[in-house]
């Protein structure tokens, strides 16, 4: 199979993490979710975590120069030679340009950008009910994807928590940040002919099936 360098794009709560986990199981490619990486760094109280926390808690993006190096190192690692799945990166035009520059240095390019489209109202509904596994970031929803046992992750048994940035005022700020800084990437990738748009306002399984169909076409 040809190398698959994939980007998951979409507003907060569109289902990037939900779909990313499923594609990761299907494709067995390294899955780099910048939100999970940063939350891990905050938990471990590393320098990266200390820098990132204040931005994350108020729904802002961490500075480009902080996050670009984190992803560039991973893409340049031997585990990513057959491809990767990026979730939450790039999120600004400078980040997209840095990704292009890194990939072109390696003689590679983005294979497909999978845009999961949902409305702002749906985002608010979803994030209000999200429960996240404290240890590994697996996601559930009290109504749409409830765990078998309340408060416990089905996959690894860790406690399920409400993320600090899933509070209503921070959700609104994250949405505003998405529209201002990340949405321009839709046109950026459309112009490069790699954008694939998926209606994310359907059952998670239907979204997965459509993504699988797209990947079967771009990967062949």
Q: Provide the binding-site residues for ligand AP5, judged by CB under 6 A.
A: 10, 12-18, 34-35, 38, 55-56, 59-62, 67, 88-89, 91, 95, 126, 130, 139-141, 144-145, 165, 174, 200, 202-204, 207
Quote the least distance from Cβ 72 to ligand AP5, whole Å.
12
Alpha-carbon distances of 167 from 63, 67, 130, 140, 172, rounded to whole Å: 22, 24, 11, 16, 9
Told to judge if 91 belongs to the known catalytic residues of this protein, a careful annotator would answer yes
**What is the DSSP-derived secondary structure letter of residue 143?**
T
- Which residue among 22, 163, 172, 212 is the active-site one? 163
Helix, strand and coil percent figures for the chain, each rounded to 5: 50, 15, 30
Nearer to ligand AP5, 78 or 159 (CB): 159
Nearer to ligand AP5, 83 or 137 (CB): 137
Please give the Cα distance from 89 to 34 (Å, whole number): 6
Where b means 16+ CB within 10 Å and e means fewer, 177-199 reads bbeebbeebbebbeeeebbbbbe
Tokens representing 120? 């702002």
Please give the Cα distance from 177 to 20 (Å, whole number): 22
Nearer to ligand AP5, 133 or 194 (CB): 133
Position closest to ligand AP5 via CB: 35
Quote the least distance from Cβ 220 to ligand AP5, whole Å.
26
Told to judge if 172 belongs to the known catalytic residues of this protein, a careful annotator would answer no
Please give the Cα distance from 202 to 111 (Å, whole number): 25
Told to judge if 173 belongs to the known catalytic residues of this protein, a careful annotator would answer no
Told to judge if 181 belongs to the known catalytic residues of this protein, a careful annotator would answer no
Alpha-carbon distances of 142 from 21, 36, 103, 109, 188, rounded to whole Å: 18, 20, 39, 38, 35
Quote the least distance from Cβ 43 to ligand AP5, whole Å.
13
Paired sense of beta strands 4-9 and 112-117, if any: parallel
Tokens representing 44? 């471990």
Nearer to ligand AP5, 165 or 196 (CB): 165
Nearer to ligand AP5, 1 or 199 (CB): 199
Told to judge if 130 belongs to the known catalytic residues of this protein, a careful annotator would answer yes
Quote the least distance from Cβ 82 to ligand AP5, whole Å.
23
Quote the least distance from Cβ 88 to ligand AP5, whole Å.
3
Residues annotated as catalytic (active site), given as ranges: 16, 91, 130, 163, 174
């Amino acid at each position: 199979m040809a190398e698959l360098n994939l980007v998951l794009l979409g507003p907060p709560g569109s289902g990037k993490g939900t779909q990313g986990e499923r594609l990761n199981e299907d494709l067995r490619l390294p899955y780099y979710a910048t939100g999970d990486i940063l939350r891990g760094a905050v938990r471990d109280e590393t320098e990266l975590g200390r820098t990132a926390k204040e931005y994350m808690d108020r729904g802002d993006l961490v500075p480009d120069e902080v996050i670009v190096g984190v992803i560039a190192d991973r893409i340049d690692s031997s585990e990513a030679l057959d491809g990767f799945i990026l979730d939450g990166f790039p999120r600004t035009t400078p980040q997209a340009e840095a990704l292009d520059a890194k990939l072109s240095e390696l003689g590679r390019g983005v294979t497909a950008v999978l845009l999961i489209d949902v409305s702002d109202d749906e985002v608010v509904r979803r994030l209000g009910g999200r429960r996240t596994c404290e240890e590994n970031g697996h996601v559930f929803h009290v109504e749409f994807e409830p765990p078998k046992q309340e408060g416990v992750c089905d996959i690894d048994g860790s406690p399920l928590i409400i993320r600090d940035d899933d509070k209503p005022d921070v959700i609104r700020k994250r949405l505003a940040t998405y529209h201002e800084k990340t949405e321009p990437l839709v046109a950026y990738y459309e112009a490069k002919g790699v954008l694939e748009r998926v209606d994310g306002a359907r059952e998670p399984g239907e979204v997965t099936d459509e993504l699988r169909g797209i990947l079967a076409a771009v990967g062949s």
